[in-house]
């Protein structure tokens, strides 16, 4: 087996548990290197570190799959890992809809699997993981006997690995428009064309957190996508809910979700640019009891981090100005490049500029089926904050 030796000076991050090994962390390679192959990794002194897959085309040269020298990477390895991931979700109470595999947090780097009741959606985001797709599908069939498996590999990050973007059935074809249950509500999910894997499971715990603050309230949700927070607000007793999203398709689905839950009289939606609408209503001094902001990631690269900070600050400042005194701001950020402390700092800056006082109600991360490993920073990505604004 090909051997990869780490440089002396920068191997501590890997030794402390991070599964990524960048090209500039490698001192030498012994043996042939074929993209996607399994290799053994050692310290500069020859101590075994782990076993993983290699891709010379990627900035992340090796992603480690195991640190047990006796553990071989084969079909049985993936069956064992997937069983382990499923057992963990069952232990913490996520059995119907959940992120079944959360990449590095489940010791399966670059693999995402979402479970929507009897359907599974898979993403293999690196060449080495993509090679094992048949074994992964076979394991999923054995564990779940699902009604269908679909791949959503239509993501640009695959191109950095020399992989094409693609999507399609990994099982017999099925109707990709399904309905799932969440917190007593039902939602349409478009597995084939919805964002990411079709639905944002990472907010399912946080959507429950608005339960008490929305009762009898006039609620605004900007960047509402398919209206999941809006429908929760209506379900929890809001007087009125208005959702904004730039996507006509998303708004159409949001309206269907409201109808599915008999909330069409309470929950209304508009296809508009949320930035522009917030700005306009600030000028008009329009007011709400609760403002919910759940925007898409404003940046996917460190080069644009300042742009993201500016964007988050602007929408939160406008959100605060649209609140009645004592109203609640519900705000989130889904980019791991904005860490929790920076996110809170941005909200604080927005409050100072808006001349508002904040009282924190709750500060949460992604749902528990997206576990966090403290030594792998990219497993902490979602920030969810509720504050009372005075």
Q: In which residue ranges of the chain is CATH 3.40.50.150 found?
A: 178-389
Of 3.90.1150.10, 3.30.750.80, 3.30.460.10, 3.40.50.300, which CATH number belongs to 75-174? 3.30.750.80
Confidence of residue 305 (pLDDT cuts 50, 70, 90): confident
Confidence of residue 298 (pLDDT cuts 50, 70, 90): confident
Confidence of residue 336 (pLDDT cuts 50, 70, 90): confident
> CA quadruple 64, 68, 73, 74: dihedral positive or negative?
negative
- Decide: 338 and 312 in contact? Cβ < 8 Å: yes
Per-residue model confidence (pLDDT) at position 89:
98
Give the β-pairing of 185-190 and 267-271: unpaired
Per-residue model confidence (pLDDT) at position 375:
92
Model confidence pLDDT, tens digit, residues 65-95: 999 999 999 999 999 999 999 999 999 999 9
Per-residue model confidence (pLDDT) at position 45:
95
Within a 10 A sphere around the Cβ of 379, how many other Cβ atoms?
19
Per-residue model confidence (pLDDT) at position 297:
81
Query: Quick one: tokens of 213?
Result: 């603050």
Catalytic residues: 334
Buried b (16+ CB within 10 A) or exposed e, 115-128: bbeebbbbbbbbbb
What is the DSSP code string of 55-97?
-TTSSEEEEEEE--TT---SHHHHHHHHHHHHHHHHHTT--SE
Whether the pLDDT of residue 194 is over 90: the answer is: yes
Q: How buried is residue 156: exposed, middle or buried, by Cβ count under 10 Å (0-12/13-18/19+)?
A: exposed
In whole angstroms, what is the distance from residue 357 CA to residue 325 CA?
10
> Region 290-294: what's the mean pLDDT?
97
Per-residue model confidence (pLDDT) at position 253:
96
Q: In which residue ranges of the chain is CATH 2.30.130.10 found?
A: 3-66
Model confidence pLDDT, tens digit, residues 256-282: 999 999 999 999 999 999 999 999 999
Per-residue model confidence (pLDDT) at position 369:
98
Q: In which residue ranges of the chain is CATH 3.30.750.80 found?
A: 75-174
> Region 160-165: what's the mean pLDDT?
96
> Region 138-151: what's the mean pLDDT?
98
Per-residue model confidence (pLDDT) at position 10:
80
Average pLDDT, the chain: 96
Per-residue model confidence (pLDDT) at position 107:
98
What is the DSSP code string of 16-46?
TT--EEEGGGEEEEES---TT-EEEEE-TT-
Model confidence pLDDT, tens digit, residues 196-244: 999 999 999 999 999 999 999 999 999 999 999 999 999 999 999 999 9
Whether the pLDDT of residue 301 is over 80: the answer is: no
> Region 38-54: what's the mean pLDDT?
97
Whether the pLDDT of residue 106 is over 90: the answer is: yes
User: Can you tell me whether residue 263 is helix, strand or coil?
Assistant: coil
- Decide: 124 and 110 in contact? Cβ < 8 Å: yes
Of 3.20.20.140, 3.40.190.10, 3.40.50.300, 2.30.130.10, which CATH number belongs to 3-66? 2.30.130.10
Q: What is the topology classification, in CATH, of domain 178-389? A: Rossmann fold (3.40.50)
Model confidence pLDDT, tens digit, residues 34-45: 999 999 999 999
Per-residue model confidence (pLDDT) at position 145:
98
Question: Residues of the chain with pLDDT > 70: what percent?
Answer: 100
Model confidence pLDDT, tens digit, residues 107-129: 999 999 999 999 999 999 999 99
CA nearest neighbour of 266 among 236, 292, 294, 287: 236
Per-residue model confidence (pLDDT) at position 167:
98
Model confidence pLDDT, tens digit, residues 320-332: 999 999 999 999 9
Buried b (16+ CB within 10 A) or exposed e, 351-374: beebebebeebeeebbbbbbbbbe
HSE-up (13 A, CA, CB side) for residue 94: 23
Confidence of residue 308 (pLDDT cuts 50, 70, 90): confident
């Amino acid at each position: 087996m090909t051997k990869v030796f780490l440089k002396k000076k920068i191997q501590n991050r890997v030794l402390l548990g991070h599964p990524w090994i960048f090209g500039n962390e490698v001192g030498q390679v012994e043996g042939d290197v074929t993209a996607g192959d399994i290799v053994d990794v050692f310290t500069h002194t020859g101590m075994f570190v782990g076993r993983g897959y290699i891709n010379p085309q990627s900035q992340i040269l090796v992603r480690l799959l195991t640190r047990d020298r006796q553990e071989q990477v084969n079909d049985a390895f993936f069956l064992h890992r997937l069983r382990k991931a499923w057992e963990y979700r069952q232990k913490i109470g996520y059995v119907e809809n959940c992120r079944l595999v959360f990449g590095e947090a489940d010791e399966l780097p670059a693999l995402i699997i979402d479970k929507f009741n009897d359907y599974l959606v898979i993403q293999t985001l690196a060449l080495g993981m993509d090679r094992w797709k048949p074994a992964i599908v076979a394991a999923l069939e054995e564990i779940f006997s699902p009604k269908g498996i679909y791949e959503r590999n239509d993501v640009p990050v695959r191109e950095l690995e020399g992989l094409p973007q693609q999507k399609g059935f990994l099982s017999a074809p099925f109707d990709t428009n399904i309905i799932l249950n969440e917190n007593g509500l039902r939602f349409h999910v478009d597995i084939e064309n919805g964002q990411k894997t079709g639905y944002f499971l990472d907010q399912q715990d946080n959507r429950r957190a608005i339960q008490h603050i929305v009762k009898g309230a006039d609620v605004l949700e900007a960047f509402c996508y398919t209206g999941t927070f809006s429908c929760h607000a209506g379900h929890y007793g809001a007087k009125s809910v208005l959702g904004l999203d730039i996507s006509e398709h998303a708004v159409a689905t949001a309206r269907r979700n409201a109808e599915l839950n008999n909330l069409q009289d309470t929950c209304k939606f508009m296809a508009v640019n949320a930035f522009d609408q917030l700005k306009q209503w600030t000028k008009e001094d329009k007011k709400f009891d609760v403002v919910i902001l759940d925007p898409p990631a404003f940046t996917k690269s460190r080069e644009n981090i300042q742009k993201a900070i500016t964007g988050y600050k602007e929408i939160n400042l406008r959100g605060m100005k649209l609140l009645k005194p004592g109203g609640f701001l519900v705000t989130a950020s889904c980019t791991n490049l904005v860490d929790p402390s920076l996110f809170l700092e941005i909200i604080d800056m927005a409050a100072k500029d808006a001349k508002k006082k904040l009282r924190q109600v709750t500060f949460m991360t992604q749902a528990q089926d997206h576990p966090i490993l403290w030594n792998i920073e990219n497993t902490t990505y979602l920030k969810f904050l509720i504050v009372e604004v005075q």
